[in-house]
Amino acid sequence: MVDLPQIAPPTEFGRETFDRMTTIPPYDFDSYGEGLCRRRIRLINASETATIGELEDDFHHFRVELTHDTDKVLSVSGLVLRAPWSTCSEADLPLQKIVGKPLSSDSTAIGSYATPTSNCTHLFDLTGLAISHSMQGDSICQYDLMVTDPLDEKQVLRLWKNGELLLDWVIREGVIISPKDWEGVSLVGKFIAWAKGNLDPVTAEAAIALRRMTHISTGHGINLDKLE
């Protein structure tokens, strides 16, 4: 096992600090519009033939473990550590369709040989990122992402890669309004195709991951405990 560095999370937007291993304060659903949603994605090349991906946010915690040679996936194991729906516990089964399929540095290439709608979306996306990372020379890649609740129809989206701020957007109704270089880009519709066609691979992967957070963050306004 490689000696893995520990990358500190961004703290600029921290509102409250607590030890989640001992105390987690209840969430105030009436405060929606004042908070933010966080996600961390950690990708590790544990050896030349093993890659691990882990994703955790306010609602989910998933882990995927891949074994591979230099060309294809040899095995995959998905683990649901925390999820809002009971159906998520079966998320590992559809992933088995990628066994024997080719590796790709494009994290979205998994969609060409497995069906996203047949899989848990988050575990599916994490697996695509892990496959991509298996093709990289770096032992570790860590994404930290945050999205603020909508306020005056605006949201702030940020992504750090290995502790360095890579993307910093302000959006209104799904369209980036800042910074200038991104102004007018819509995060809805065919954003993935746009990102792959207009951005370098590193930025495209990060932008696609950050865009997905716009959907996840709306969960802050829903009391999942009251849903049946």
Count helices and strands in the chain by DSSP H and E runs: 4, 8
Bridge-based pairing of strands 36-47 and 140-148 is antiparallel
If DSSP states are collapsed to H, E and C, what string results for 34-101?
CCEEEEEEEEEEEECCEEEEEEEECCCEEEEEEEECCCEEEEEEEEEEECCCHHHHHCHHHHHHHCCC
What percent of the chain lies above the pLDDT cut of 90?
53
Question: Residue 117 contacts by C-beta under 8 Å, 6 or more apart in sequence?
Answer: none
Tell me: the pLDDT tens digits for 113-160?
877 666 678 888 999 999 999 999 889 999 999 998 888 889 999 999
Q: Could you tell me the pLDDT band of residue 112, with boundaries at 50, 70 and 90?
A: confident
Cβ count near 170 (within 10 Å): 16
Which amino acid is residue 76, in one-letter code?
Answer: V
Tell me: the pLDDT tens digits for 190-226?
999 999 999 999 999 999 999 988 877 766 666 666 6
